[in-house]
Copies of this chain bind each other. A is one copy, B any other.
Amino acid sequence: MRGAVIHSPGDIRFETLEDPKILRPTDAIIRTTVTCVCGSDLWPYRGLEPIGEPHPMGHEYVGVVEEVGSEVTAVKPGQFVIGSFATSDNTCANCRNGFQSSCLHREFMSTCQADHVRVPNAQGTLVATPEQPAEEFWPGLLALSDVMGTGWWAADAAEVRPGSTAVVVGDGAVGLCGVIAAKEMGAERIIAMSRHETRQKLAREFGATDIVTERGEDGVARIKDLTDGIGADSVLECVGTPEAMRQALHSARPGGNVGFVGVPHDVAIDGEELFYSHAGLRGGPAPVRRYLPDLVDRVLEGRIAPGKVFDLTLPLEQVAEGYKAMDERRAIKVLLTP
């Protein structure tokens, strides 16, 4: 098979790789119909995370099952499936509590920018669509495997409620999907923080009622202006930098909630400040599996269209250009077609 391999910061290559095989009876092999580049892939690409030896990339996937291990009965060859970037057996104590992304047998997907992929824990991880979905739904379904599932988790962790006010920090694909989620959960006011016109436009299309272009404490001051001086009920932190976390925490009202889903890089939270803020804070890798059946329905019924975050489509072999376009913020998110 062929897929993307990172060699060093900025150096993504499309290479011929060994075909994936069933290694354990709980594995499945799928042929990816579409895959993509994630904002979090940019951390190593930009040299902000160690790379070590050259290795494959990608954790978002949808596709058709080609082969399953002997213990996999939930899906079968020929079915169109979606799975989370974090695999799960869906039976352990953490899975039963709805935190499948902390599954005791979790393995993170990491080789999905390829035409085929091995999925561990396939029985608990993969969700099949009722029938073969039309090609127009592929991007939306693909978005569920990470960015839409993560945006949903951000809104869930931030406890968005009907009638509430939500702030979204971060205008990447996850933040934009967070807007969709906040809207679906009934937020009355959705404030997207963005200074990028294309993304502002998409945020509004997804349901944002206000756009705040200021950053840092100026941005916080604008949020306070819009929320009777006290801050928002819910804040979705979808970046992972110290600045974004600070902005998020300062934007929440006392008793409000911050859901943080950007993988934190050098983020430290001051205990005393968090204490006096009265804000609740919860984050982590999204328990996508918990949401998948519902989100698949929403996509196939056309109620949400998270596939719109893909504003550039490239053949998989041009994956390097996909990284470059996202790194330079020329694209929100790049769809790759094998």
Q: A-side interface residues toward B, CB under 8 Å?
A: 93-94, 97-99, 101-102, 104, 157, 228-230, 242, 245, 253-255, 260, 263-272, 274-285
Please indicate the chain B residues that have their CB under 8 angstroms from the CB of A265 in the complex. 272
Chain B residues whose C-beta falls within 8 Å of the C-beta of A245 in the assembled complex = 271
Given A97-B254, A268-B270, A269-B271, 15 other A-B contacts at CB below 8 A?
A94-B255, A98-B255, A99-B255, A101-B278, A254-B284, A260-B275, A264-B271, A267-B271, A267-B272, A268-B268, A268-B269, A268-B271, A275-B283, A276-B284, A281-B281
* Chain B residues within 8 Å of A276, by CB: 284-285
- Whether the pair A263, B275 counts as a contact (CB closer than 8 A) is yes
- Report which of B97, B264, B270, B274 forms a contact with A281, defined as CB distance below 8 A: B274
A277: min CB distance to chain B, Å: 7
Please give, as numbers and ranges, the residues of chain B lying within 8 Å of A98 by CB-CB distance. Answer: 255
Set of chain B residues within 8 Å of A271, measured between Cβ atoms: 242, 245, 260, 264, 266-269
- 23 cross-chain CB contacts under 8 A: A93-B228, A93-B229, A94-B253, A97-B254, A99-B254, A99-B278, A101-B278, A102-B254, A254-B284, A260-B271, A263-B272, A264-B271, A267-B270, A267-B272, A268-B268, A268-B269, A268-B270, A268-B271, A269-B269, A274-B281, A276-B284, A278-B284, A281-B281
In-complex Cβ contact of A282 among B97, B99, B280 (8 A): B280
Which single member of B242, B260, B274 contacts A283 (CB below 8 Å)? B274
| Min distance, Cβ A50 to any Cβ of chain B, angstroms | 14
